[in-house]
Structure 1
Amino acid sequence: MQTVIDWIKQKNPELQGEILPDTDLIEARLINSLDFLEFIYLLEQVSGRSVDLDRVTVDDFRSLNRIREVFLTDPAPTAAG
Structure 2
Amino acid sequence: MKRIAEWIQTKNPELDREPSPTEDLIEARLIDSLDFLEFIYLLEDLSGRPIDLQEVSVDDFRTLERIAHRFLRPEAGTTS
Q: TM-score if structure 1 supplies the norm length?
A: 0.91
1:73 alignment partner in structure 2: 73
Unaligned runs of 5+ in 2: none
Q: Which has the higher contact order (CA 8 A, sep 6+)?
A: 1
CA 1:50–1:78 in 2, change beyond 3 Å: closer, same or farther? closer
Q: What percentage of residue pairs aligned between the two structures are identical?
A: 61
- Letter of the 2:11 partner, please give it: K
Which consecutive segments of 4 or more residues in structure 1 shift more than 2 A? 76-79
Unaligned runs of 5+ in 1: none
Query: What is the CA distance between 1:19 and its match in structure 2?
Result: 1.1
- Structure having the higher helix fraction is 2
Q: TM-score if structure 2 supplies the norm length?
A: 0.92
User: What is the aligned-residue RMSD (CA, Å)?
Assistant: 1.6
